[in-house]
Chain A
Amino acid sequence: MNKRQLLLGNEAIALGLIENGCAVATSYPGTPASEILASVASFQEKNAISMHTQWAVNEKVAFEIAYAGCMTGLRAAVSMKQVGLNVASDPLMSAAYMGTKGGFLVISADDPGPHSSQTEQDSRLMAMMAKIPVLDPDSPGQAKEMITLAYNLSEKFKIPVMIRPTTRVCHARQDIQPGEIVSHETQAEFEKNPARWAATPKFRYQLHNELEKKLAEISAHKETAPSQLSVVSGQLQPGQTTKAIVVSGVAAAHTKDIMKDLDLWDAVSLYQVLQPYPLHTEFISHLINTYDEILIIEETVGVIEMQIADRHRVRGKLDGSVPKTGELLPENIQEIIAEFAGVQSETASLPSVPGRRPTLCAGCPHRASFFAIKKAAKKGIYTSDIGCYTLGLNLGAVDTVLCMGAAISQAAGFYHAYKHQEKRPDIVATIGDSTFFHAGVPALIDAVVQDVRFVLVILDNRTTAMTGSQPTPATGAGACGEPLVSVDIAPLVQGCGVKFCRECDPYKTDELISLLKEAVAYSREHGPAVVIAKHPCLLDRTLRGEQHQPVKIEVTDTCDGCGYCVKHFECPALVPDEAEERVNIDAILCSGCGVCVQVCPKESLSIVSGQ
């Protein structure tokens, strides 16, 4: 039964959680971490495990739910992407002081590159700031093994433990041998101890002292100590220096292959760090006492490097030997290692040809909403947010993207900046349904209180689309598909104090344009106006039943190839044919939404009758 399986890094992490008896697993979706919780849910169902698995409204809430689980003695885990950890940083810093009872893991997936994130931040620095240990896996297989290491570490020292995979671990697949599911404590038992769980500042100082003691012991914890992978054979030549390379994370995986390819396996010592913080004290002394030159390769900040005090011997990010920005691709690492070891190596690189830019899907309701917004508020300032709809950039309908929820607060900021001027721009903010729940609600309350004159368009596609269709609080279903209570957006908006709140299907684009014009006019005089542009995402299979009936579109002979639809609507199914001076419909891509019929100013696109 237990034969090797092809597992995505995130699935391997999930299987590790299940095998180690995790009883509470929470998350908020974000690339590259999203598949962790979805996989926990699927293993949970497959093995009929009784545990609590949930998508939370945001990472802070997810953290606090899982943390309380560990306070009762259960094993718990919260997973998120690196910028999600920013949102959860408040409970993280405090939980580090209070410590844990059951094992508690914080899985924060970093995205060097970045491939799908706002920043290349290094979660290991957050572990350092919180003063908790962090483990740095090099592959899906090692990520799974580290779950065991991390739970043991957490329970031995009563401390939250971070696991920091990166995109190349999360989204790599590897053949992995599943293990046994070990049963652990399933009875919750909260022992009251206000001096700890509700500590006042005076006791916090004591907890801080305890935390420092724990860290000192953890930096001598044998199970997570660095391992020496290669040993130099033979005698040193006179004048020859002793060299070591220290690696962690996926850079370790690249380095192992590269050192073999460059015939350096017996020429340079290689060490892999499993726990970059706190770095093992004995290891630091060993490096300094043994080697003349030490090269450290890690992503994305020099966390290991900054813990080695003797700067004369260390090469890495701080002295510029390793780039400070971007993903460390194996071809870059090969060059760095060859130079350090003093060997020749020919490294090729890829041409810097731009690939295709991502775009909203054909038939995406957001495209229709953006088109309508540009019609209704021509010279407006368009603040936006994190999600698929960031791609409204392509349509010129997104001017700002800062972080989750900022569309609303930035709209407020722009309003306040301009409000004493005679001419004020219209401000239209766009935010997705999941992002609105995540961080938009407090910002909207603030905007109501401060009488911010702006229009908020909630792009309600009924799912968390960008990360793979996870449920939102409005879905009424949980991580395992179980029925849950749903929270409707309109009453929530009204509850925030908004007086103008209307709904419209963006596929009825002409209606949406009129409604938005009305909303803009209202907002100029009276304060916030909210329009909920509601239409299900085409990619969410669970919403198939609610989809609009596709129509067949034809391009009539009146089309003169003016390019208006291509430029202002940017649907990938509209393909300009310059030679013929017209546009064609790509039948494979076209979803049959029919919105383009409302877009063409010359009425050259029409619905084929008899459909």
Chain B
Amino acid sequence: MKQQIIISGVGGQGVLFVTRLLAEAAILRGLPVFTSETHGMAQRGGTVVSHLKVGEFSSPLIRPSCADGLLALKAENVSLHGAYLNTGAWAVVNSSEPVSGLSDCSGVFTADADTYAQEIGTPKSVNLVLLGFALARIPKENLFCTTDDVRSVMKNRLANRKDMLDASVKALETGHNK
């Protein structure tokens, strides 16, 4: 099993947190994992991209046309990072409108995660809403983990912060049920 996923957004949206949840879900499944992250100045509202590689890899970076999936927390990033995708990849985009430029994908799913996150009173949980949505929509064979795996990871990570855990699980489930 080898999967390469790009997670893209802007600084402050929680790209790193989503990447980390997925990476820990891979460990939970006993799979080797690599991620590569953007730190430093770009995190101040600039474009941020994470590479997630599950399976036997040596390199932490994904080459263009090699990714199996794209999770875009900002629709505008599709034009920046869509070229990472291989033919037949999936893309999940935070957008209230259909997105263009992903014609080679096997499945493109959009969700208005900004609105959903505001509806549940945690406007900054856009990342988790979109993650939950992706976990529900991507066919099992194309994504190495499930919503249950991510929920378990959250429970481990936020064991001492009950309020944050509840809000995070709620955001994940909101996305899952859309």
Contacts and interface: CB of A to CB of B under 8 A. Distances in A.
Contact of A356 (B10, B20, B41): B10
Interface of B: 10-12, 19-20, 23-24, 26-27, 32-47, 57-65, 76-77, 79-81, 83-84, 114, 118, 123-124
Contact of B60 (A139, A334, A357, A359): A139
Give me the 6 closest cross-chain CB pairs, A-B, nearest first: A355-B47, A116-B40, A358-B46, A31-B40, A348-B65, A172-B60
B36 A172 contact: yes
A6 B24 contact: yes
Query: Most chain-B Cβ atoms within 10 A of its Cβ — which of A348, A356, A388, A390?
Result: A356
Contacts of B23: 6, 173, 175
A388 B44 contact: yes
A174 B64 CA distance: 21
B63 A348 contact: yes
16 contacts: A6-B27, A116-B42, A168-B61, A171-B39, A173-B23, A173-B33, A173-B36, A173-B37, A254-B59, A330-B61, A356-B47, A358-B41, A388-B44, A390-B41, A466-B40, A466-B41
Interface string A122-140: 0000000000000000110
B34 A172 contact: yes
A168 B40 contact: no
Interface of A: 4-6, 8, 31-32, 115-116, 138-139, 168, 171-175, 250, 252-254, 256-258, 329-331, 334, 347-351, 353, 355-361, 388, 390-391, 466-467, 572, 587-588
Contact of B20 (A6, A172, A258, A347): A6
A115 B76 CA distance: 21
B64 A359 contact: no
Contacts of A350: 64, 80-81, 83-84
A331 B51 CA distance: 14
B40 A348 contact: no
Given A173-B23, A173-B37, A174-B33, 7 more contacts: A172-B37, A173-B33, A173-B36, A175-B26, A250-B59, A253-B60, A330-B61
Contacts of B84: 350
Contacts of B124: 588
A264 B23 CA distance: 30
Contact of A351 (B20, B32, B83): B83
A175 B33 contact: yes
A468 B93 CA distance: 29
B33 A329 contact: no
Nearest to B58: A256
Contacts of A572: 45
Contacts of A334: 63
B99 to A, nearest CB: 15
Contact of B44 (A8, A115, A359): A359
A115 B42 contact: yes
A170 to B, nearest CB: 8
Contact of B59 (A330, A353, A466): A330
B59 A256 contact: yes
